[in-house]
Chain A
């Protein structure tokens, strides 16, 4: 990292004693967060832009513990980790604090609150995969029954916290999402949701339709309802004021994150370079643009990097440009993906990555974005799964009622590590459907997928290659990885 970049970080975190080597911001530590920040990642540097200028974090509700466990929003949404969290950062924090940091709070920073909290193994999902426990009741209108098949984390069979406890809960484990670039995530799509054949959820404050792209299961309508739920749940607050909610939403609505420097590709935001790169591009661009086309594509143009030169930087940039073309134009059979193939497009569908990842600048879905990609359900088409899911995550058996519309590609009995959207909608067709995530700042926040099942971008690309039989060559895989790294 350059001396200049280090100086930027030091200036940003003015409370030097609270700015450890890995740039972790402790809840309540105070200090001013600069408007332009850069943090080292595994492949270069990620940039964080506060478009409204520097923020005094002292007493700011995003940075201040509001509840009983010492956490603040920033605990899981760290600027140095793309306003999310990496598993590596969690492990480093465990080492440094002997597991006493509020991140590891029993409520959801451990596999289950009734496990011995001082033991590392009680936090294995957070430490190995960066996962936070999400506990939800089975919806009253559920079209299915659910039973626990195996439970390595132990929470779903816990007498106090499990499915047969006094307040029955399903515990699933998910990655914290980026609290950045949110104008894209919250931009309302069409009021009638393709995947529902019905109207989108509405903002309880305004009555206007919302994007249904927040959270892995779209359970929160707005940033305000999300902040409230997070305060009451993850932070264990007893109350939060409207003013505090307003300030949290105001802060996170002006944070933009994207990679700015690559160790081989160099400066990603130099004049004349690809227009979609860097946090300033994220701040400047307008949301709600459909990028699944050949004239205004998802991540705009990389043509200026296509010329193949002899230097390592030129070769890397040419690889990125090829990766962008693979993402936009490489056709393959998209098949058996609920809420893509099942909504009228047919199964299979000969298209490209950009069909689903169609929202310009983020690569999410411009509409409500839940899809069963097969990362949580036990599929027939990929064995074995990337990770040894059965040894780490709970496995549920879902049985659909005879009156229900079955899951379109798995039928009436589904084995899953996370029912996803179905835990909110109660519908069998939604089992395993997860809302797509942004593609930005990826190098800062491994692992990937909602259950952290891809440890790195190579595993992520391998997953797609296997899942959709893309038959990517080794060079094409590396091109895609390089492309994803610079976003």
Chain B
């Protein structure tokens, strides 16, 4: 066994040991500013995120729903009383769980990290159009200029969800604008379904129709934004990649490959 392989074998379990993949009720911790969102797993409390706004890349979970947490333990002190996970992917599971209903009061010494949006009205001077920085009445224009190369845009999804949140529609919009600017001869939409390996070795698989639903919504949006329907080719990947408890969130995706 060479040295590199040995090192890899030693590091791999350590890396995996830093992964946390579990389903739990979110817990809201109020602070004097915005609330923190936490979750408990095997007797430990993890910090997930704070309240932000729709422009954020990471959205908080929801009370009355369990959340699938897939993250990596990050170094550094606790945040809001929880061990930070970063990066972390949070998926709100669709069915109700009425027991997920805990709001902890603000306590001295527990402070939320800085946030660009306070709990009250926005304090940023540049007004942002509600819903995604789009000028009223027209599509969100992105400026792309020649030369145009083949380019891929990747939309990542919450578990078992085909909903395109604001962060996702911005990406699809970019792809559409690029395809239009590049006069793409082909726009390949490839949709996947995935599974997640939890830290307790349980496997969660997404519903069988989810890849098709993801593709349909992306294609509808691409067409609506002006991508030539004839150029769009759709592929549904039926097989589910074997979950490994590390890269699973990156397998819930749709790729949009724009070929000039």
Contact B131–A192 (Cβ < 8 Å): yes
Known: A293-B127, A343-B165. A198 touches B132 (CB 8 A): no
Interface centre among B56, B103, B120, B122 (most CB of A within 10 A): B120
Interface residues of A in 264-287 (CB under 8 A from B): none
Q: How many residues of B contact A (CB 8 A)?
A: 54
Interface string of B157-186 (1 = CB under 8 A from A): 000000111111100010000000000000
Q: CB of A79 within 8 A of chain B?
A: no
Please indicate which of the listed interface residues A192, A343, A350, A352 has the most CB atoms of chain B within 10 Å of its own CB: A192
Q: Which residue of B lies closest to A347 (CB)?
A: B62
Are A192 and B140 within 8 A (Cβ)? yes
Task: Specify which of A289, A344, A348, A350 is in contact with B63 (CB 8 Å cutoff).
Answer: A348
A365 at the interface (CB under 8 A from B): yes
| A349 on the B face (CB < 8 A) | yes
Return the contact of B217 from the options A197, A288, A342, A405 (Cβ within 8 A). Answer: A197
Residues of chain A lying within 8 A (CB to CB) of residue B65? 347, 408
A354 in the interface (beta carbon within 8 A): yes
Q: Is A191 an interface residue (CB 8 A)?
A: yes
- A297 interface residue per 8 A CB criterion: yes
Q: With A190-B136, A294-B120 as known contacts, state yes or no: A347 contacts B63, CB within 8 Å.
A: yes
Cβ of B137 and Cβ of A366 under 8 Å apart?
no
A361 to chain B, nearest CB (A): 14
Q: Which of A33-41, A48-56, A327-335 contacts B (4 or more CB under 8 A)?
A: A327-335
- Does A408 lie within 8 Å of B166, measured CB to CB? no
Partner-contacting stretch, out of B11-19, B29-37, B198-206: B29-37
Q: Which residues A146-203 have CB closer than 8 A to chain B? A: 187-194, 197-199
In this assembly, does B5 line the interface, its C-beta being within 8 Å of a C-beta of chain A?
A: no
CB contact under 8 A between A199 and B63, given known A350-B51, A409-B96: no
| A window 321-367: CB within 8 A of B | 328-329, 331, 333, 335-336, 341-352, 354-355, 358, 365-367
Contact indicator A329/B121 (Cβ below 8 Å): yes
Say whether A358 contacts B95, CB under 8 Å.
no
Bound together, the chains give a CA A190 to CA B103 distance in angstroms of 34
A406 touches B96 (CB 8 A): yes
Residues of B within 8 A of A422 (CB): none
Counting chain A residues whose Cβ lies within 8 A of the other chain, the interface size class is 35 or more
Q: Are B165 and A346 in contact (CB under 8 A)?
A: no
Residue A73 CB within 8 A of the other chain: no
Cα of A115 to Cα of B225 in the assembled complex, Å: 49
| Bound CA span A130–B229, Å | 48
* Chain A residues closer than 8 Å to B34, beta-carbon distance: 350
**Is B241 located at the chain interface by the 8 A CB criterion?**
no
Cβ contacts under 8 Å, B132 to chain A: 190, 192, 194
Q: Are A198 and B217 in contact (CB under 8 A)?
A: yes
For residues 2 through 31 of chain B, which have their beta carbon under 8 Å from a beta carbon of chain A?
28, 30
B139: Cβ under 8 A from any A Cβ: yes
In chain B between 124 and 165, which residues have their CB closer than 8 angstroms to a CB of chain A? Answer: 124-125, 127-134, 136-140, 163-165
Bound together, the chains give a CA A194 to CA B140 distance in angstroms of 13
Partner of B59 from the list A199, A290, A346 (CB cut-off 8 Å) is A346
Q: How far is the CA of A295 from the CA of B224 in the complex (A)?
A: 35
Judge whether B127 and A197 touch: CB under 8 Å. no
Contacts of B133 in A (CB 8 A): 190
Q: Which residues of A contact B217 (CB under 8 A)?
A: 197-198
Question: In the complex, A146 Cα to B35 Cα: how many Å?
Answer: 38
Cβ of A263 under 8 Å from chain B: no
A220 sits at the interface (CB 8 A): no
Min distance, Cβ B28 to any Cβ of chain A, angstroms? 6
Are A405 and B130 in contact, with the CB atoms below 8 A? Answer: no
State whether A197 and B140 are in contact (beta carbons under 8 Å apart), knowing that A292-B122, A350-B51 are contacts in the complex: no
Q: Please judge, given known A-B contacts A190-B134, A197-B164, A199-B224, whether A349 and B51 are in contact too, CB under 8 Å.
A: yes
Closest to B55 in A: A344
Interface of chain B residues 80 through 111 with chain A (CB within 8 A) = 94-96, 103
B249 at interface, CB cutoff 8 A: no
Give the distance to chain B from A180, nearest Cβ to Cβ, in Å.
21
**A197–chain B nearest beta-carbon distance, Å:** 3
A294 touches B173 (CB 8 A): no
> Contact at B59–A345, with CB atoms within 8 Å?
yes
Residue B244 is within 8 A (CB to CB) of chain A in the complex: no
Binary B-proximity of A206-217 (CB < 8 A = 1, otherwise 0): 001100000000
Contact A366 B54 (CB under 8 A): no
Known: A208-B137, A345-B54. A354 touches B94 (CB 8 A): no
- Asked if A116 is at the interface of the complex by the 8 Å CB criterion, the answer is no
Cβ–Cβ contact A354 & B134, under 8 A: no
What string of 1s and 0s marks CB contacts (under 8 Å) between B218-236 and chain A? 0011001100000000000
The yes or no answer to B209 lying at the interface (CB within 8 A) is yes
Does A403 count as interface, using CB distance less than 8 angstroms? Answer: yes
Nearest A residue (CB) for B165: A344
Q: Is A204 engaged at the interface, CB distance under 8 Å to the other chain?
A: no
Within 8 A of A (CB), among B205-260: 209, 217, 220-221, 224-225
For the complex, what is the distance from the CA of A420 to the CA of B54, rounded to whole Å? Answer: 25
CB B103 to nearest CB in A, in angstroms, measures: 7
CB-nearest residue of chain B relative to A196? B164
Is A411 interfacial (CB-CB < 8 Å)? yes
Decide if B119 touches A350 in the complex (CB within 8 Å). Answer: yes
B contact set with A: CB distance below 8 Å: 28, 30, 34-35, 37, 51, 53-54, 56, 59-65, 94-96, 103, 119-125, 127-134, 136-140, 163-169, 173, 209, 217, 220-221, 224-225
New A-B contacts (6) at CB < 8 Å, excluding given A366-B131, A406-B94:
A194-B130, A198-B224, A292-B122, A296-B127, A328-B120, A406-B95
Q: Which 7 pairs, one residue from A and one from B, show the smallest C-beta to C-beta distance?
A: A346-B60, A197-B164, A347-B62, A190-B134, A344-B59, A199-B224, A188-B137
